[in-house]
Amino acid sequence: MKSNLYNHTFFISIIAALLLCTNGIAQQIDLSNYSMRFVFKTVKQADNSRLLEVSFIGFNDADRKDKLPVFGAEIQFLNVLNDEEIILGSSKTSKEGTAQLILLENQKYATDEQGYINLKARFNSTDALSIEEADIMVKDLHLDLNLSEIDSVKTVTLTAFTINSLGDKIPVSDLDVIINLNTMLSKMNINEGTIIDGTYTFEMTESFSGNTKGELTISSIIEENDEYGNIIQEKKVQWGTINKQVKFNDHSLWTKAAPIWMYVLLSILLLGVYINFIYTIVNLVKIKREGDNIKTEPKKNYTVY
Amino acid sequence: MNIQSRKRELFKEFAPRLETTSTVSKIYISFLIAIILVGIYAFYLQMSEGQIVTGMRDNVVWGIYEVNFILLVCISYSGAFISGILHFFHTPWKTAIARIVEIITVLSLLIGPIYILLCMGRLDRLHYLFMYPRIQSPITWDIIAIITDIVACFIYLYLTFIPDFAILRDHCEERDIPKWVKKMYKTLAIGYQDTKTQRDRLHKITRTMSAIIIVLAIVAYTVLAWIFSLTLQPGWNSTIFAPYFIVGGLFSGVAFIIVTMYLVRKFYKLEKYIRKMHFKVGGIILLILAMLYGYFTFTEYFSRWFSHKAIDTDLLDKLFTRYFWEFILANYVGILGPIGILFFKKLRTINWVTIASVIALVGIWINRYLIVIPTLETPYVPIQDTRVDYIFYAASWVEIALSFAGIAAFLLMFTLIGKLVPLVPMNYILDSHLETNKVKQKVNKEISE
């Protein structure tokens, strides 16, 4: 059959062009359909460093599931006191639209009269995106986690305090705290309570196996407190209860030597059979000897019935 | 009648076959030798080219060699078992078939294990099996069991031959028999003169050996089944595999004995000794075994189907699609066919019993094929992107040639043994003659009193 492809050159060319130029038909993103969300948070971490984190993501107004993380946006982190802005550092957003800055334990912050640290995150405008700003006010809270056995009872004691300008520890109250046990993939909640007069204590009665060295990592978390923000403190302790390990019965057939019962059984069986073979051969020899003796004697009829 | 003259009569009756070889026999033997020679060439090819000339590949590492091995070894064990039972329980009709069974036992045990050697990729490392055996391996148990069984069967066969060798030795001088054969009779008769002490001693050790080979047959059967059932392979890992193998082996063994009986009766003109009664009894035994074997087969497949394990389901799917007709032949025709024939008393004739046995033999060969090959084609760990001919098995001409060579070797050796000794044991005929005389004397005595 004759091909009629050449009769429709125009359409064939368009189809070929569409097939080859995938970029030409790629959908353009219209940023006006997206609302930008600029979320700023801070976490005081277990090593007393402070994490400043901004999440910069656009959400489609029509479809909230359609997220557009802003990649490569430079975020400035500032410590603000009155009108003065002290630059703490800057960071660019990742593919997930997140920018982070970790301030070490020895970082000095400017605080107001009430002891608040005023932190600000800022994104300066570009052609496509407008300026974004967010700020947080937190007080610097210190958590001291003490894990000790009192009268053979595993006791977790958490002390929460602030330090005033004179360097005195001021206990805090009415703070909700969560005590977690860090496991391999997540944190397991083992206790919850409220810090009163700067202290929270609980007795750990349950037994946990911990890591391979028998260590438990216990963390205390204060989450999104209006005054202090997020604070985490954690410690390792040798409280793991090593359960008697389940000893798997190794398949004795996969070892170098077979189990003894197998040798014994096989030997008995083979001995039984081969002894019988020898017994048979001995009897055959006796039959032969008798036959040989008959040959040497004068011939007579030996068949007696 | 004097026992010596009876011996002479028996010798006269069987001697012509020992003296002469007819032209037909010569052609027949030449034909068998030709098949064996083709087999030897196939073996040479396999040795020089490697396993590539066979259908065995990475997945299916056992082919029809393994099937032949199982069938022959099972026939052998079955022969040993039946032979032991015949002797141990003084079965009255053993006279006609005992020697045939004994020869079948030894020959199939000699040829069967050769097939397992053919499955080995590196025959040059065969001695490693003996140098570095792992006592915990079922393969090692099987080697020990087969070697022990070969020794036991040889000894037992020899014990049953001794009185006949003595008769042949005593009377062969009068006939035109080659010198080396006469010398062989003399040597193998080990001075047996049939005195009371010799006879009693021989009876005692033969009886003990018959008991031993019954036990050995069961042990060896079981070990052979364990080679499969102690693995986790689908279709093999089963607790009833050992008794299933025993019943299947007995079924194939009895069928094989009946077919051999038919051929020996026909070609050696032994209608006087191998009578309809033997076929009738053989047929009833085959019927019972067929029912038992059918029961085991149904249980085996039913439990796999019902438990519905993924890997077993894959295997059953394969059996009911790719191997549909083989499955029907093995497990429907091969079992229900003999039952259908033997169930009717009228059909328990020589010809019909033999036909039922042939159907049973073909069926069980295919059943062994279905036990080995589809399982190996259904591995636990699927191998991706492998060639189709590596997954599915098809026997090559080399394997088929070697399979026929095995059958030819069996027939040739059987024929040659039949040329050296009578296929119906003369001493058993004498025994039954003596028994009859004793009964007669007893009756006469009672009448005269």
- Search chain A and give the residue with CA nearest B141: A266
Decide: B380 and B232 in contact? Cβ < 8 Å. Answer: yes
CA distance B194 to chain A (A): 6
Residues of B in contact with A269 (CB under 8 A): 219
CB contact under 8 A, A258 and B152: no
Sign of CA dihedral B222, B227, B228, B229: positive
pLDDT in the model for residue A304:
38
Widest Cα–Cα separation across chain A: 144
* Angstrom distance (rounded) from CA A137 to CA A109: 12
Structure tokens at B347: 């059909």
Q: B346 CB near a chain A CB, below 8 Å?
A: no
Query: Would residue A252 count as lying in a domain?
Result: no
Chain B contact present for A266, CB below 8 A: yes
Which amino acid appears at position B160 of this protein?
Answer: T
CA atoms within 13 A on the CB side of B186: 11
* Chain B residues 107-136 with a CB less than 8 Å from chain A: 134-136
Q: Of the candidates B195, B204, B209, which has its C-beta nearest A302's C-beta? A: B195
Give a yes or no: residue A69 inside a domain. Answer: yes
Residue A35 lies in a domain: yes
Judge whether A7 lies within some domain.
no
Min Cα separation A249/chain B (Å): 16
DSSP string, B213-238: HHHHHHHHHHHHHHHHHTS--TTT--
Please give the DSSP secondary-structure letter assigned to residue A186.
S
CA distance A29 to B256: 83
Identity of the residue in A269, A273, A303 whose CB atom sits nearest the CB atom of B4: A303
Q: Are residues A107 and A157 in the same domain?
A: no
| CA dist., res. A76 & res. B429, Å (int) | 115
- Note whether ipTM > 0.95 here: no
Tokens of A89: 């550092």
Distance separating alpha carbons of residues B359 and B353, to the nearest angstrom? 10
> Domain for residue B97, yes or no?
no
Q: Let me know whether A99 and A111 are in one domain.
A: yes
CA distance B152 to B159: 11
Q: CB within 8 A of B85, min separation 6: which ones?
A: B91, B210, B214
Instruction: Inform me whether the C-beta atom of residue A280 falls under 8 Å from chain B C-beta atoms.
Output: yes
**Is residue B295 in a domain?**
yes
CB-based contacts of A59: which residues, under 8 Å, 6+ apart? A34, A35, A37, A66, A67, A68
Substitution target in B193, B196, B218, B441 with the highest count of A β-carbons within 10 Å is B193
Whether residue A135 is found in the same domain as residue A35: yes
A89/B contact by beta carbon, under 8 A = no
Alpha helical stretches, state H, A35-175: none
User: Interhelix angle for B241-267 vs B350-376, to 10°?
Assistant: 140
Instruction: Name which of A44, A43, A67 is nearest A56 in CA terms.
Output: A67
DSSP one-letter string for B251-267: HHHHHHHHHHHHHHHHH
Residue B274 inside a domain? The answer is yes
Q: What are phi and psi of B304, to 5 degrees?
A: -70, -45
Q: Mark which residues 148-187 of B lie under 8 Å from A by CB.
A: 148, 151-152, 155, 159, 162
Rg of chain A over CA atoms, in angstroms? 42
Question: Last residue of a domain, which of A222, A237, A252?
Answer: A237
Distance from CA of B187 to the nearest CA of A (A): 10
Does the beta-carbon distance from A303 to B3 stay under 8 Å? Answer: yes
**Does A192 fall in a domain?**
yes
Tell whether B11 is covered by a domain. no
- Please report, for chain A, how many H helices and E strands are present, in that order: 2, 16
CATH code of residue A98: 2.60.40.730
Judge whether B274 and B265 are in contact, CB under 8 Å. Answer: yes
Shortest CA distance from A283: residue in chain B: B201
DSSP string over B20-72: ---HHHHHHHHHHHHHHHHHHHHHHHHHHH-GGGSS--SS----HHHHHHHHH
Of B144, B191, B197, the CB nearest to A288: B191
Task: Tell whether B51 is covered by a domain.
Answer: no
CA distance B386 to chain A (A): 30
| B204–A295 CB contact, under 8 Å | no
CB-based contacts of A126: which residues, under 8 Å, 6+ apart?
A: A73
Establish if B374 belongs to a structural domain: yes
The verdict on a CB contact (< 8 Å) between A283 and B201 is yes
The length of chain B, given as a count of residues: 449
- pLDDT tens string, chain B, 449 residues long: the values are 567 777 777 777 777 667 777 888 899 999 999 999 999 999 999 999 988 999 898 888 889 999 999 999 888 888 888 888 888 877 776 777 888 888 998 899 899 989 988 988 888 888 888 888 888 888 888 889 889 988 998 898 899 889 888 888 888 877 777 888 888 988 999 888 888 899 899 989 998 998 898 888 888 889 989 989 988 888 888 899 999 999 999 999 999 999 999 999 988 888 888 888 889 989 999 999 999 999 999 999 999 899 888 888 889 999 999 999 999 999 999 999 999 999 999 999 999 999 999 999 999 999 999 999 999 888 877 666 677 777 888 999 999 999 999 999 999 999 998 888 888 888 777 777 777 777 777 777 777 76
**Cα–Cα distance for residue pair B296/B316, rounded to 1 Å:** 16
Please give, rounded to a whole number of angstroms, the shortest distance from the CA of A297 to a CA of chain B. 13
Let me know: does A38 contact A65? Beta carbons within 8 Å.
Answer: no
- Is residue A260 within 8 angstroms of chain B, CB to CB? no
Task: Say if A265 is an interface residue toward chain B (CB within 8 Å).
Answer: no
Which among A186, A216, A237 is the end of a domain?
A: A237
Please check whether residue A141 is in contact with residue A222, taking contact to mean a CB–CB distance below 8 angstroms. Answer: yes
Would an 8 Å CB–CB cutoff place A16 in contact with chain B? no
Domain membership of residue B373 (yes or no) is: yes
User: Which of A139, A160, A190 represents a domain boundary (last residue)?
Assistant: A139
Residue type, A195: I
Question: Could you read off the pLDDT tens digit of each residue along chain A, which spans 305 residues?
Answer: 445 556 677 777 777 766 665 554 445 677 788 888 999 999 999 888 999 999 999 998 888 788 889 999 999 999 998 888 889 999 999 999 999 999 998 888 888 888 889 999 999 888 888 899 999 999 989 999 999 888 888 899 999 998 887 888 889 988 899 999 988 788 888 889 999 999 999 888 888 888 888 888 999 999 988 889 999 999 998 888 876 666 666 666 677 778 888 889 889 989 999 999 999 999 999 999 988 887 665 544 444 33
Q: Which residues pair with A55 in a beta bridge?
A: A39, A98
Query: Domains in chain B: how many in total?
Result: 1
- Residues A118 and A175 occupy one common structural domain: no
Helix (H) or strand (E) holding A9: helix A9-20
Residues in chain A within 8 Å Cβ distance of B190: 284, 287-288, 291
Helix axes B94-119, B138-171, angle to 10 degrees: 140
Tokens for A262? 């197998």
The CATH number of the domain where A225 resides is what? 2.60.40.1940
Q: Which residue of A263, A290, A294, A296 to mutate against B (max B Cβ within 10 Å)? A: A290
Nearest CA in chain A to B188: A288
Whether residue B189 lies inside any domain: the answer is: no
Residues of A in contact with B212 (CB under 8 A): 273, 276
- Distances in Å between the Cα of B196 and the Cα atoms of A144, A291, B199, B351 are 106, 12, 5, 42
∠ CA B315-B316-B318 to the nearest 5 degrees?
65
State how many domains chain A has: 2
CA distance A284 to chain B (A): 8
* Interface contact A283-B219, CB threshold 8 A: no
Domain match, A133 and A93 both: yes
Strand partners, A35: A59
- Start-to-end C-alpha separation, chain B: 23
Give the domain extent around A69: 31-139
Residue A120 tokens, joined: 């600000």
Domain-embedded: residue A275: no
**B366 touching A, CB under 8 A?**
no
Where are the extended beta strands (E) located within B69-137? Answer: none
Domain region containing B348: 235-379
pLDDT tens sequence across A68-92:
899 999 999 999 988 888 899 999 9
Determine contact: A292 vs chain B, CB below 8 A: yes
Using the beta-carbon criterion (under 8 Å), do A262 and B135 form an inter-chain contact? Answer: yes
Do residues A125 and A48 share a domain?
Answer: yes
The chain A residue lying nearest B155, using CA atoms, is A277
- Taking the CA of residue B152 and the nearest CA in chain A, the distance in Å comes to 7
Q: How many C-beta neighbours within 10 Å does residue B4 have?
A: 14
Torsion of CA B92, B96, B102, B103, to 10 degrees: 180
